[in-house]
Structure 1
Amino acid sequence: MDEIEELGPAEIREYEGTKLSSVDDFRENSIKGPQQVDIESYQLKVNGLVENPKNYTYGEVIDSYQHYKKLVTLDCVEGWSVDILWEGV
């Protein structure tokens, strides 16, 4: 039996006929840099002026809600722009 070669991450460069910018074209200009989420300890808290406050784990958020994709062009005041596919819940 042939050995299976594991592939690295892939980048989607076209979505529904629209060419997408490379992830490398997206500039990260925040002071703290890209933020990471610890999915083991993540809690989404819905509280404040709500009737039923709730806490959700990362898995509950990902598994319980509909996923959406949106193609967005970001035009920065610095003169650069990117066409990026965002995905979330």
Structure 2
Amino acid sequence: MEPRLLHHDLQPGHLVRQPDGTRLLLDWELAAFGDHFSDLARLAVRLQLPDSTPVLALAAQPNRRAAQRLDLYWRIHQLANQALATDPRNRQGNY
């Protein structure tokens, strides 16, 4: 696996479509190099999806191993969101 440039904060608010149809991805301050499945998993968590499978279709070559990596990153990002939540009610999660 070759590291790729990751946005590392994918969420709907960072995706913009200009009037001419051009699409932009904003806010690159958390960008880093790593596994692209981490970005997809983070998007699934930000969209509050119950699992990572809906974003698996965005992967170049989805397969069983890719699904496992995506699921692992999805669980890590869920855990991080819960651990870093400032609202105590958000810290109540199933780990």
**Structure showing the higher helix proportion among its residues:** 2
Normalising by structure 1, what TM-score? 0.22
Which has a greater percent of strand? 1
Q: TM-score, normalised by structure 2?
A: 0.22
